[in-house]
Structure 1
Amino acid sequence: MYLIHVRLRAPAEAPARPDLAAIISSYAEESDGLEHVSVHAHAGEGLTLGLFLLAGSLAAAEDSAARLSRRAVEHHPDLLGYGVVTSGAVLVPGPWWDT
């Protein structure tokens, strides 16, 4: 399972939608491998989706997350004005970084 972060640009002054995770999930196809969606709002900076995906590789998970997010943003009427800014895995620092 992979955790992929998708940054969304929300329309100006739009509050975070409480049903955003459900909306994104509703656009998932079986081939996306979606297991869970979490939403994190950042004041004045948009939103970050955390998509947990089952995939054969990191690249496949990143592709699925980007496709799924774009599909939802482009087709759900309540997401008019939203846009996908970035999509990718997040590097987590660990003790090995200083070696």
Structure 2
Amino acid sequence: MYLVHAALQPAPPGRPLPGDARELLWAAVRPEDGVEHVVVHPDAVPDPVLGVYVLANSLASAEHRASEFCRRALVAVPEFAGWKAMKVAAPLVTPFYERLLSAPAGPGRNGPGTLPSS
């Protein structure tokens, strides 16, 4: 299973997501989409983000499936008229791990320990 993010761009700009966005988009899922779960991040900057958990054999296939699902769902659901999925890709987690490694956690987990490999 892969997590793919889709940056959702409203038309007109600044238009908020429908309050029941997750339910509306979940209702548009078809079995052939391979979508297992959707989550909405309405406060993402600069635009809301849709997280799509997709079953696929590869990352490329998952991104393609998520892109096709978003394209179709945004057209099919009237509350999303004019919305577009701009960037559909697996999110990079590097910033998360960099924050963990640079946190003042002290010796041990995520900090220098007594063993040379830590």
* TM-score interval for Structure 1 and Structure 2 normalised by the shorter chain: 0.7 to 0.9
Question: Whole-Å Cα distance in 2 between the matches of residues 23 and 4 of structure 1?
Answer: 18
Question: Whole-Å Cα distance in 1 between the matches of residues 25 and 44 of structure 2?
Answer: 21
Letter in 2 for 1:79: F
Which residue does 1:78 correspond to in 2? 79
Q: CA RMSD in A?
A: 1.8
Which residue does 1:33 correspond to in 2? 34
Q: TM-score, normalised by structure 2?
A: 0.72
Letter in 2 for 1:6: A
* CA apart distance, 1:36: 0.8
Question: Whole-Å Cα distance in 2 between the matches of residues 41 and 26 of structure 1?
Answer: 18
Secondary structure of the corresponding residue to residue 63 of structure 2 = helix
Larger relative contact order (Cα-Cα within 8 Å, sequence gap ≥ 6): 1
Q: How many residues align?
A: 95
1:55 and 2:50 correspond: no
| Bigger Cα Rg | 2
Percent of residue pairs identical: 35
1:68 and 2:69 correspond: yes
Q: TM-score, normalised by structure 1?
A: 0.84
CA contact (8 A) 1:6 1:88 kept: yes
Q: Runs (4+) of structure 1 moved beyond 4 Å? A: none
Unaligned regions of 5+ residues in structure 1, if any? none
Question: Whole-Å Cα distance in 2 between the matches of residues 2 and 44 of structure 1?
Answer: 22
